[in-house]
Amino acid sequence: MSIISKIEELNRELPTSVTLVAVSKTHSAQEIMEAYSGGQRVFGESRPQEMCAKQEELPADIEWHMIGHLQRNKVRSIISFVSLIHSVDSARLLEAIDAEASRIERVVDVLLEVRVAQEESKAGWEENELRNYLSGGKWRVLKNVRFRGLMTIGSNTDDNEQICSEFTHVRDLKAELQTAFFDDSFDILSMGMTSDYALAVESGSTIVRVGSMIFGERDYKK
Ligand SMILES: *Cc1c(COP(=O)(O)O)cnc(C)c1O
């Protein structure tokens, strides 16, 4: 099936309130343009250098989302054009984003990545670490980041109950943090990939990040 028909299929299936991020990492500008011609405007990348190269070459009305682990020294390269950073996993990264955004006088939307999966390897804040950080209040001086919600990566398992319980847990955590620290603009839940986006949407996700279902398998060696 073509990239366009995959995009169309997903758009039929997803509620209109859910944003589809087409995860295009490792895929070519040409493949992205195929999705673009099917109406897709939001693309997710996980490497700053790759995202910058594509952004320079592709139409200016594409929204670029950073979804992968971001090193502080790479923030500057993406800060002028990135529309949402999903993968904010530390106070130091937040401070670096704020400093770079302030330098160019823009406010950048960010999500806090929360770790709920069983695997050790997954990035993100531990729930209590995040509560402590927010209670501490140091983030309140960061005027050039806007906190828009939470992101998570579910466990890599066939156990749907496990995945659902992780997603509903993060949904509840978002509601709790919104009430305690933020306002109505803390309104995004980025949850769900190719294998689990349907479960994520059932659990209240507002952004799904879908790659291989749209573009096929990734070849990291390319
Ligand atoms: C690669 C990636 C995705 C997309 O994964 P698929 O299984 O190909 O849909 C989603 N989210 C993050 C954080 C990723 O790194």
Mutate to test the pocket of ligand 1, among 3, 7, 23 (most ligand atoms within 8 A of CB): 23
Measure CA of the first residue to CA of the last residue in the chain; give whole Å.
Answer: 22
Write the residue with the smallest CA distance to atom 4 of ligand 1. 211
pLDDT the model gives residue 126: 95
Asked if 47 contacts 27 with a C-beta cutoff of 8 angstroms, the reply is no
pTM of this prediction exceeds 0.85:
yes
Confidence at residue 220, expressed as pLDDT on a 0 to 100 scale: 76
- In sequence order, the 6+-apart residues with CB closer than 8 A to the CB of 71 are 48
Tell which residue, 111, 181, 184, 188, has the closest CA to residue 145.
111
| Atom 7 (ligand 1) nearest CA | 194
The pLDDT value given to residue 178: 98
Kindly give the interhelix angle for 29-37 and 3-13, rounded to the nearest 10 degrees: 50
How many angstroms is it from 70 CA to the middle of ligand 1?
Answer: 15
59 contacts 38 by C-beta, under 8 angstroms: no
39: left (phi over 0), alpha (psi -120 to 50) or beta: left
Tokens standing for 203? 């659990």
153 in ligand 1 pocket by Cβ < 6 Å? yes
**56 CA → ligand 1 middle, Å:** 23
C-alpha 211/C-alpha 119 separation (Å) is 21
Q: What percent of the chain has pLDDT over 90?
A: 94
d(CA 108, CA 126): 23
| pLDDT by 10-residue block (mean), the chain, 222 residues | 94 97 97 97 98 98 98 98 98 98 98 88 90 98 98 96 97 98 98 98 98 91 58
Tokens coding 194: 């190719």
Distance CA 162, CA 189 (A): 18
- Cα separation, 16 vs 98, whole angstroms: 32
Judged by phi (left if over 0) then psi (alpha if -120 to 50, else beta), residue 137 lies in: left
Distance (Å, rounded) from C-alpha 64 to C-alpha 54? Answer: 10
Ligand 1 site, residue 62, Cβ cutoff 6 A? no
Candidates 63, 89, 61; CA nearest to 75 is 89
The closest residue, in CA terms, to atom 12 on ligand 1 is 67
Q: What pLDDT is attached to residue 219?
A: 81
At residue 221, the pLDDT reads 64
Determine the Cα–Cα distance for residues 133 and 185; give it in Å rounded to an integer: 19
Q: Is the CB of 78 under 6 A from ligand 1?
A: no
pLDDT (0 to 100) of residue 71: 97
Ligand 1: centre distance to CA 141 (Å)? 32
Reference 146, options 180, 109, 101; nearest CA is 109
Distance (angstroms) between ligand 1 centre and the Cα of 170 equals 18
